[in-house]
Structure 1
Amino acid sequence: MLDHLEDHERISYICRLLYEAYRLPVVWLNTEGETVQALHPLGQTRPPVEGVQGLPVEILEHIQSTANSGNHAAAAPLPLLCTTAYLENFVVLPLYGELEQTGSIVIGPSLYAPLTEENAGTLLRDHNIPPGRQEAWLQYYRNLPVLDRMRLYHAAILLYTLATGQALSISELLHDPQLLQPAQLKDSAPDLNLSYRRENTWLHHDPSQERELFRHIRSGDKNGLLQTHAGFNEDQYGLLSKKSQLRSKKNLAISSITLATRAAIDGGLFWEIAYTLSDFHIQHIEELKDIPAVDRALLAALCEFADHVKDNRRSKLSRTSALCQNFIFNHLYEELTLSKLAGVTGLNASYLSQLFKKETGFAVSDYIQRERIEEAKRLMELPGITLSDIATRLHFNDQSYFTKVFKKYTGITPKQFRHDRGIT
């Protein structure tokens, strides 16, 4: 593909092309791990970790292990996709064949999504970064480019194709036999543990019991859920942490909430509501300090999923109207029009308008207004948000129009609403 270029020109050209296409840092390292070429935007210097500055140690170790492996197979090595403990993403491609003596190309660092200062602070505390060094890391994260997972995969594929002249699919890129090896436990193995549990009749719960539990969530039947849950015996739960009973119980609770989330969505609950509930309950459980509190929190979470499904099912909407409501809920802070909903459902706008009003009792525009007022009420419960901010964020023309619509659906003005609740 680039055969007319000398090796050093070819690698330099590939690095420059990838940098210009993705605006990601690109580094060319020789076989000794020394930098031959480095292209990166300003302000992306990685703070030192344990005295090491520059590329993370795990990236350098991988490059070195590849160089020392002595594996000179006919097939080109695939790009390595690596996420560090600090959430930085890298693509590493050891060069082979006629380019083998030229080293490796490294793309990165980048992030899959922007890190808020709160999340970055939590991450840094997890790694025991002292407060005096955290600001340098926060500045580093602010300057890192953001590239979602799929675009990073395509950058890796482009790098591979430019360097080798060969095609590569995403499934081939992700098929790393080392990553797919099952974990080997030091002190036990699944087969031995299975034999031991059977010998002592310490069996896990019957899967039909679990299916019944989540069937009740799917149907919004809290009473049935409580009855089924009462039938679970404590000794039938698995052990998900050998070091901590509390950690094991939290892991079991998180697994149950994840399954409950899927069951609630299958039962018709808006997926954004379901995922938000899941996030809230998992975060709450992580903060708890004892096992009984985790047990109570899990049962409360399962019941809340069932209640939400029940409330959602009372409307008895068609799939089309439910899809519209879900879209409106998820995109309430954006411009919403009948034509946009028609595009989502694949129906004629006029027909959709008639169907939606017949089933919900609201014209589409009135339903959107009502939902925005409900969202406004939630925002007004929060400190530090002005009525003007709320009106702007929810796409009301001005604050006076917002007040007019708010009073239409609540009978009072926004100021009265806040006053009645003691919110200043």
Structure 2
Amino acid sequence: MMTLEDQEGMQYICKLIFEAYQTPVFVLDSSRGIVHQLPLSLEGRPLTPDFGEMLKEITDPIDSASPIDLAVVATTPIPIIRTTHSLENFIILPLTSGHQTAGTIVVGPSLYEPLTESKAANLLRDNNIPLGLQEQWQHYYRNLTVLTRTRLYHAAMLLYTLVTGQTLSITELLLDARTSKPKQQPVGSPDLNVSFRRENIWLHHEPMQEQDLFRHIQNGNKAELLRTHATFSEEKYGLLSKKSHLRSKKNLAVASITLATRAAIGGGLFWEIAYTLSDFHIQHIEELRDVPAVENAVLDALCDFADQVKDTRTTMLSRTAAVCQNYIFNHLYEELSLDKLAEVAGLNGSYLSQLFKKETGIAVSDYIQRERIEEAKRLMEYSGVTLSDIATRLHFNDQSYFTKVFKKYTGTTPRQFRN
């Protein structure tokens, strides 16, 4: 394993990691002072502008009750992935000499995804950041490198291999992360709780009842969904919060909507519609302030999923045609071609074209045009979006061609439709 004494080799590794991921890299000594960093100049985060102080905080034991076992680290210096309350991600690799930590390599901070202004504002509110500092924090977030979870894991594995000369699988990385952290056990005993519920005949609903409910969503049958929902008894619902009945109901609602989302996708609903619908209903439920409103909202959500499945055009199609329709739906704002769809479906373009028309009754190119016109109709609901902007965004060559295609599928011009 490489040590701090090999300064040239250590700097070379840091340079490789920095250039590959464009994420700051630090080498710390045994006292956790910075001995090398890339880039040389860095803008610190608000409240902790000194990177040295921030890194001491980051490299503290992951949990005060679980200091890093040096004997374990000495033999298996597996990188640690640490995420802060502010959602910054760091890779921490202890460097050992004998049975002592001789230093540490830290890669970060980075983010899993870009933070929109609204998401950043919500995060800062959750962390009680004063309003006067929010602009500084948002500026800080905008300057952080985005590394998806997979890329961050691969960066950790690459760092490990460069330092130790050994391979590390993603399974080993994640298993080590799980076993090195203390288990936070829930308070109480599930076995005792089961005994109590059986003794008092206070049982959860039967699984078949739940399966029937979500089967009706998958089939798009709202009437049967409502009939099955009416058979659920209040006392048979689980308790998902000990401190708040409202929170318990919201948690149950989130679980129900999550299962309904999967059932709707199984019923043929485009997954992007299903997930967006899920987000929409859960966000709405989180804003509610009383139990009856939550109960009404979750039933509305389940019915919404059933209606969407009933209306979808993919339910009776083969998997190949459904995959193509789903891809077209998600990529309407991009260039779409038969060759690209053939690549997605894993079929010859000519064969896919025949299969698609046979199952849908419409050619691929016509289907794409029709879906773009449907999207154009949705965009026209917003007065701030011009017709020329809509035509450009949906890849119509010019305004006159857009008008021609629009009239073909609607019988009116775009201007007449909007008016």
Whether the TM-score (by the shorter chain) exceeds 0.5 is yes
The 1-side partners of 2:49 and 2:147 are apart by: 27
What is the CA-CA distance between 1:284 and the residue it aligns to? 1.0
1:199 paired to 2:199 = yes
Contact 1:241 1:248 in 2 (8 A): yes
Distance 1:288 1:156, change over 3 A: same
Stretches (4+) displaced over 6 A: 50-53, 63-68
Where structure 2 has 5 or more consecutive residues not aligned to the other structure, the ranges are none
Number of residue pairs matched by the alignment = 417
Once structures 1 and 2 are overlaid, which stretch shifts more, 69-78 or 394-403? 69-78
Counterpart in 2 of 1:23?
22
> 1:201-350 maps to which residues of 2 (within 5 A)?
201-312=201-312, 316-350=316-350
Contact 2:26 2:36 in 1 (8 A): yes
SS in 1 for 2:105: strand
Contact 1:63 1:94 in 2 (8 A): no
Counterpart in 1 of 2:185?
184
> 1:48-127 maps to which residues of 2 (within 5 A)?
48=47, 54-55=53-54, 59-62=58-61, 69=68, 71-73=70-72, 75-97=75-97, 100-127=100-127
What is the CA-CA distance between 1:315 and the residue it aligns to? 6.2
What is the CA-CA distance between 1:194 and the residue it aligns to? 1.9
Counterpart in 1 of 2:8?
9
The 2-side partners of 1:137 and 1:364 are apart by: 47
The 2-side partners of 1:96 and 1:42 are apart by: 28
Q: Given residue 9 of structure 1, which amino acid in structure 2 is its aligned partner?
A: E
The 2-side partners of 1:179 and 1:213 are apart by: 41
What is the CA-CA distance between 1:314 and the residue it aligns to? 7.6
What is the CA-CA distance between 1:410 and the residue it aligns to? 1.4
Contact 1:47 1:53 in 2 (8 A): no
What is the CA-CA distance between 1:34 and the residue it aligns to? 1.2
Counterpart in 2 of 1:40?
39
SS in 1 for 2:385: coil
SS in 2 for 1:343: helix
Distance 1:70 1:152, change over 3 A: closer
Contact 2:66 2:181 in 1 (8 A): no
Contact 2:353 2:364 in 1 (8 A): yes
The 2-side partners of 1:258 and 1:297 are apart by: 14
The 1-side partners of 2:266 and 2:75 are apart by: 44
Distance 1:69 1:276, change over 3 A: closer
- Deviations 1:197-226 (CA, angstroms, capped at 9, x unpaired): 222221111111111111111222212211
SS in 1 for 2:60: helix
The 2-side partners of 1:390 and 1:41 are apart by: 46
Distance 1:89 1:41, change over 3 A: farther
The 2-side partners of 1:13 and 1:117 are apart by: 37
The 1-side partners of 2:79 and 2:314 are apart by: 52
What is the CA-CA distance between 1:182 and the residue it aligns to? 5.0
Distance 1:68 1:121, change over 3 A: closer
Provide the alpha-carbon RMSD of the alignment: 2.6
Q: Given residue 162 of structure 1, which amino acid in structure 2 is its aligned partner?
A: L
What is the CA-CA distance between 1:319 and the residue it aligns to? 2.2
Q: Percent identity?
A: 65
Q: Given residue 346 of structure 1, which amino acid in structure 2 is its aligned partner?
A: G
Once structures 1 and 2 are overlaid, which stretch shifts more, 134-143 or 48-57? 48-57
Distance 1:79 1:134, change over 3 A: same
Distance 1:316 1:177, change over 3 A: closer
Contact 1:33 1:64 in 2 (8 A): no
TM-score by length of 1: 0.91
TM-score by length of 2: 0.92
